[in-house]
């Protein structure tokens, strides 16, 4: 095996591939990346058995072949030779030699035949969406997914089609986020549930890709395909909660506030919140009063009056200040709308005039 390629292009792919590698002591081959050459290009593969990724870059191929090399080591080597434009790599007996104008580096590799295969999905339903739209949809809801693996269905992001929208949903049962992205492509008969750990890796890889992604879905796998990247991931085979039944159809109290004012207030208020991040949200339209207060017996307390537009019934509701703060990055509008239906019902947050994003947070009862 012998080839020459651009160092910067190779470094970007190796760094992305190394994120996918598995740190499995019983299967050390999973911490490596596989290099495979064909007639005109270099193919780079990595997998942790949950997610598999394949990248392709142009290269001058002198001799075809394959080898697996330690991912982190290879990535660090390429980062440490930034002045080199092109590098030549040759492999003999699983020993990889990296040759540049000024440096000769040798690293020990693994037998390529020991590297796990990455599934190639050729059946199932498919849809195509621009990479940046997909990333926006996932990032808008990611903060609401459960961290624990006890309930795999909610430690995930659920994606399905609803009319002319592709809908992204995540919940940890204490809060829920839904983002709708305009979509006029292929019709999907069912949704897909992607584990949070896997989808984080997928969006990290596609953040630097500005092109459309083709997704193919089966009962057990999803693949994401662009011109130079192929990713496959396990999907959850359970049933996602019927979340739409808990979304309020109307509200008894509504508050419109500048997003930046709420951000500034929450930054201060959460400094004084307790271990539950509890804040008191108090609204009284008849008294033209809206304030957020927090109290911590070990630190102190704070009360902030807000300039808002409000209507409806007076309410005093306890909310998780961190949960409220987390959703604000997903709202692009300058003003946000907070809707409530009583102190014991969830609060709903949206951007003013934007129905594409909905965030629901449960009240605190302690």
| Average pLDDT of the residues of the chain | 93
Q: What is the reported pLDDT for 28? A: 86
Q: Is 66 helix (H, G, I), strand (E, B) or coil?
A: strand
Q: What is the reported pLDDT for 51? A: 95
Q: Which of 80-89, 173-182, 265-274 has the highest mean pLDDT?
A: 173-182
**Higher per-residue confidence, 72 vs 28:** 72
Confidence bin at 108 (pLDDT 50/70/90): very high
Helix-helix angle 7-20:71-79, to 10 degrees: 150
Pairing of strands 229-234, 41-47: unpaired
CA distances from 30 to 21, 69, 113, 205 (A): 6, 10, 13, 18
Per-residue pLDDT tens over the stretch 2-61: 999 999 999 999 999 999 998 776 788 999 999 999 988 999 999 999 999 999 999 999
Residues near 191 by Cβ (< 8 Å), separated by ≥ 6? 158, 159, 160, 161, 240
| Stretch 174-188: mean pLDDT | 94
Residues near 92 by Cβ (< 8 Å), separated by ≥ 6? 1
Confidence bin at 366 (pLDDT 50/70/90): low
Per-residue pLDDT tens over the stretch 341-359: 999 999 999 999 999 999 9
Give the rounded percent of residues in the chain with a pLDDT score beyond 90: 85
- The answer to whether 315 and 340 have CB atoms below 8 angstroms apart is yes
CB atoms within 10 A of CB 21: 21
* Through-space distance between the first and last CA atoms of the chain, rounded to whole angstroms: 65
Contacts by residues 15-18 (CB-CB < 8 Å, ≥ 24 positions apart): 15/75, 15/78, 15/79, 16/53, 16/55, 16/204, 16/205, 17/44, 17/45, 17/46, 17/53, 17/55, 17/71, 18/46, 18/71, 18/72, 18/74, 18/75
Per-residue pLDDT tens over the stretch 239-250: 999 999 999 989
Determine the Cα–Cα distance for residues 240 and 238; give it in Å rounded to an integer.
Answer: 7
Confidence bin at 255 (pLDDT 50/70/90): very high
| Stretch 112-117: mean pLDDT | 92
Instruction: Please give the backbone phi and psi of residue 272, each rounded to the nearest 5 degrees, phi first.
Output: -110, 5
Q: What is the reported pLDDT for 84? A: 86
| Stretch 76-100: mean pLDDT | 93
Q: What is the reported pLDDT for 358? A: 97
Q: What is the reported pLDDT for 149? A: 81
Instruction: Please give the backbone phi and psi of residue 235, each rounded to the nearest 5 degrees, phi first.
Output: -120, 160
Task: Say yes or no to pLDDT of 294 above 70.
Answer: yes
Q: What is the reported pLDDT for 291? A: 95
Per-residue pLDDT tens over the stretch 307-326: 999 999 999 999 999 999 99
């Amino acid at each position: 095996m012998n080839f020459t390629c651009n160092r910067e292009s190779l470094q970007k792919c190796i760094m992305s591939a190394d994120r996918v590698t598995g740190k499995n002591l019983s299967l050390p081959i999973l911490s490596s990346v596989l290099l495979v050459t064909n007639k005109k290009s270099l193919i780079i593969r990595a997998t942790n058995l949950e997610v598999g990724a394949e990248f392709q870059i142009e290269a001058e191929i002198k001799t075809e072949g394959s080898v697996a090399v330690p991912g982190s080591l290879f990535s660090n080597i390429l980062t440490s030779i930034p002045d080199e434009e092109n590098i030549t790599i040759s492999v003999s007996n699983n020993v990889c030699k990296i040759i540049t104008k000024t440096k000769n580096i040798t690293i020990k590799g693994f037998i390529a035949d020991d590297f796990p295969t990455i599934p190639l999905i050729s059946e199932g339903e498919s849809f195509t969406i621009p990479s940046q739209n997909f990333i926006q949809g996932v990032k808008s809801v990611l903060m609401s997914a459960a961290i624990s693996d006890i309930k795999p269905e909610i430690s995930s992001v659920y994606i399905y089609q609803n009319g002319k929208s592709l809908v992204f949903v995540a919940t940890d049962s204490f809060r829920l986020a839904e983002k709708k992205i305009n979509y006029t492509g292929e019709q999907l008969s069912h949704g897909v549930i992607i584990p949070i750990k896997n989808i984080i890796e997928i969006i990290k890889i596609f953040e630097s890709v500005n092109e459309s992604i083709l997704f193919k879905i089966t009962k057990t796998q999803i693949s994401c395909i662009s011109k130079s990247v192929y990713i496959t991931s396990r999907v959850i085979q359970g049933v996602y909660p019927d979340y739409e039944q808990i979304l309020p159809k109307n509200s008894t109290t509504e508050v419109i506030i500048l997003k930046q004012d709420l951000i500034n207030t929450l930054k201060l208020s959460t400094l004084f919140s307790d271990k539950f991040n509890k804040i008191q949200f108090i609204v009284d339209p008849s008294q033209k009063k809206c304030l957020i207060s927090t109290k911590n017996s070990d630190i102190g307390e704070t009360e902030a009056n807000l300039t808002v537009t409000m209507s409806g019934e007076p309410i005093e509701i306890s909310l998780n200040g961190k949960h409220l703060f987390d959703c604000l990055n997903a709202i692009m509008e300058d003003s946000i709308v907070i809707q409530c239906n009583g102190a014991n019902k969830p609060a709903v947050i949206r951007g003013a005039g934007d129905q594409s994003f909905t965030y629901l947070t449960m009240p605190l009862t302690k």
